[in-house]
Chains A and B, each alone.
Chain A
Amino acid sequence: DTGVSQNPRHKITKRGQNVTFRCDPISEHNRLYWYRQTLGQGPEFLTYFQNEAQLEKSRLLSDRFSAERPKGSFSTLEIQRTEQGDSAMYLCASSRRTGGGYGYEQYFGPGTRLTVT
């Protein structure tokens, strides 16, 4: 049973460029979450998917951010026109949701560290 994987692990980009990150969840997990973690802080929720449907987005997710999960498998997070304030660790997590409608604990990937110069 492989864990959550994320690529790339590190990304350095210049301000104004677009970047895309990928997350591959644990295979039987139907929920996928994106979080952002800045240095010395706890992770903050960005958005989540149940299968291919994006069900909630945080107000932290500006119009420059977009996430997709085609076919309910892997997910991508794109940031357009990056700003220095976007520098952070972007974490992906996945979990099961039972047929009864309740959630389970989330398992996290290693994260993608973004540095915007």
Chain B
Amino acid sequence: GQQLNQSPQSMFIQEGEDVSMNCTSSSIFNTWLWYKQEPGEGPVLLIALYKAGELTSNGRLTAQFGITRKDSFLNISASIPSDVGIYFCACWWETSGSRLTFGEGTQLTVNP
């Protein structure tokens, strides 16, 4: 299936630091979604991006849809312990129109 390359795989940071993670693909997508998943829970939608170049914020989170439509990044500013979790990027696979494809995830650990 379609691959989304997400990096870094894991991050260990101190509380208060800023975080940046990104996803790239060899294919063009119309939508980028960013999810957060905590242990024992399902993914929770954080930000949805629909337009190339779009920059969207949700509190301390900011995400951008790359101009080429092949990449996206998610920034978290002033991290806090409750930011801990796995962050996934996801795209609708254009060829089928019915399949949300996920990146491998970024495991974030925040040390108080």
Do A and B make up one complex? no
User: What residues of chain B have their CB less than 8 Å away from a CB belonging to chain A?
Assistant: none
User: What residues of chain A have their CB less than 8 Å away from a CB belonging to chain B?
Assistant: none
